Chains A and B, each alone.
Chain A
Amino acid sequence: MSVQAPLIRARRLVKRFGELTAVAAIDFDVQRGEAFGFLGPNGAGKSSTMRMIGCVSPRSEGELSVLGLDPEHDGPRIRSRLGVVPQQDTLDTELTVRENIVIYGRYFGLSRRELHQRAQRLLEFVQLDGRSADRVEPLSGGMKRRLTIARALVNDPELLLLDEPTTGLDPQARHALWDRLFRLKQQGVTLVLTTHYMDEAEQLCDRLVIMDRGRIAEEGSPADLIRRLSTREVVELRFTAETPPVTAATFDGRVARIEALPDRLLLYTEDGDALVPTVHERLHPQGVLVRRSTLEDVFLRLTGRTLID
């Protein structure tokens, strides 16, 4: 049993912007060394939560401690031990790759000599060491993201906060980034990330909370959430004409749940392949796909909506 205090602890945490309640009394703990995720659609309150953890945005109500300190009084002290990868890049694109890291490191009070060494090491880590003297402007989106991560690591943070780290990147760039984050996790850096990509959450998170409209709907490991809240497999059907009306009775009780989306029908079942002949025989779909359940299905079950509208 670990008796170590959590790295982040939130109780009844609230964030309001005027009339709007962005975060509505949420509780969570993040332990040292884990990769913790906030999964949810845009507007779920993920970024507001991240900004409170990052001591940029003051909380409206509730308790919050980060690294055992109170963000309200110890903002600069906490921030000196955090690494932050914001949703929107904040690189100075007129400066070079290396200058961006060095200048950022100066905000933490690190010496120039030290920073030049660290910049070299960090740029190697994110595979940008060949570009260190180039201006940032012409770099690809994925390279800029990797530079932002390198920059966030300049103060050797105990906790790395990543707000939608791969939004807007192509699949290859996303995988390259996940690989780097996975290595950081292996090195013992605690990761906290927000995402609306369920594959990202499944790839990176040991544990996550699913957020919707400012509240936490569920909490657990990706596998645990899928096991508890979905079936093992899903049969996805597409139709040329209108989706025929179906109920669980259509499939003799072999389907636990049915979701009708605008473009497809989802049948939740323990054994997808076994169901396919029945589906063809009774519904004549244009396309049939059998797949494993994902966090997307969990989210759909919890909120009745898909993650990306």
Chain B
Amino acid sequence: MPYALRAYEYWLASYRRVWRGSLATTVVSPLLYLSALGVGLGTVVNRGRGLGIPYLDYVAPGILASTAMLVAAFESAYPVMSAIRWTRQFHAMLVTPLRVRDVVLGQQLYVATRVSLAAGVYLVVMAAFGTIHSWLAVLAFPSAILLGFAFSAPVTAMAAWLERDEGFNALFRFGVTPMFLFSGTFFPITRLPPPVRGIAWATPTWHGVALIRGLTLGTAQLWPSLGHAAYLAAWGCVGLSLALRTFRTRLVQ
């Protein structure tokens, strides 16, 4: 068995402790969001006819994408810092045959599993709400995992680099939350003033939202979609190489 899968098993074992609560959240949150924003807020928004499609159809893929982002960022923040500093489980792994790359890949694989669980449930709920308009939506599933990777890898690097967990407050307050609100999740970024629009355009979240929305609405075009995917992959790969480097300086000095 590849070494990375041995590290991955640790995360699955520790997820087994909390899976009930976690799964409940995973199922309930799309129901809440889609009812409140899509159906509730949507009836108000639809009167304006500004989007040309029902608001529920517009906002649902946006929330799917932000869920992937949130799950990936959370799972790569405190658990990673803990495995370095508190439970020190990464130290335990590194005195066994596992190498730094196995430890990092195993953890990334686990985050991908968590994201795919959340995204899978979300897509089913979206279908139940009638917001899926194309078979292309099947590709929204790997796209959400890719968006998760664009966050899990850099946040893992950050978690290894930070000295204290207060740094995560800044990440979530000034990074993740604004991206959740302003990256095309709830309204098109064309409504933002130009300089802010530029920032929104550069976030991996916007590319993830645009990619996934195209797929669930069936409006996706090949080259722009590939462009979004490549941009997300680039964030992930740069993050991964930073994570490997930070892990080496932190753990095997």
* Interface flag for A224 (CB, 8 Å): no
Please give, as numbers and ranges, the residues of chain B lying within 8 Å of A90 by CB-CB distance: 87-89, 91-92
- Interface size for B (C-beta < 8 A) is 24
Task: Encode A74-105 as 1/0 by CB contact (under 8 A) with B.
Answer: 01110110101010111111110001000110
Is there contact, CB below 8 Å, between A75 and B99? yes
Looking at B4-12, B54-62, B136-144, B161-169, the stretch in contact with chain A turns out to be B4-12
Known: A88-B88, A89-B88, A90-B87. A107 touches B97 (CB 8 A): yes
B91 pairs with A86, CB closer than 8 A: yes
Does A54 belong to the interface (CB within 8 Å)?
yes
Contact indicator A54/B17 (Cβ below 8 Å): no
Give B228 Cβ to nearest chain A Cβ, in Å: 37
Most buried by A among B17, B91, B96, B251: B96
The answer, yes or no, to whether B170 is at the interface (CB within 8 Å) is no
User: Is A56 located at the chain interface by the 8 A CB criterion?
Assistant: yes
Q: A106 contacts the other chain (Cβ, under 8 Å)?
A: yes
Main secondary structure on B side of the interface with A: helix
B6 touches A109 (CB 8 A): yes
Is residue B13 contacting chain A, with contact meaning CB distance below 8 A?
yes
Contacts of A56 in B (CB 8 A): 94-95, 251-252
Distance between B30 CB and nearest chain A CB, rounded to angstroms: 28
CA distance A75 to B248 in the complex (A): 14
> With A79-B95, A95-B13 given, can you name 17 additional A-B contacts, CB distance below 8 Å?
A17-B253, A56-B94, A57-B253, A76-B3, A76-B99, A77-B97, A79-B97, A86-B91, A91-B92, A92-B14, A95-B14, A103-B10, A104-B96, A106-B6, A106-B10, A107-B93, A107-B98
Q: What are some 24 contacts across the A-B interface (CB < 8 A)?
A: A54-B95, A56-B94, A56-B251, A57-B252, A57-B253, A58-B252, A77-B97, A86-B91, A86-B92, A88-B88, A90-B87, A90-B88, A90-B89, A92-B87, A92-B89, A94-B87, A103-B10, A103-B13, A107-B6, A107-B7, A107-B93, A108-B96, A108-B97, A109-B97
The 3 closest A-B pairs by CB, nearest first: A90-B92, A107-B96, A84-B95
Interface residues of B (CB under 8 A from A): 1, 3, 6-7, 9-10, 13-14, 17, 87-89, 91-99, 251-253
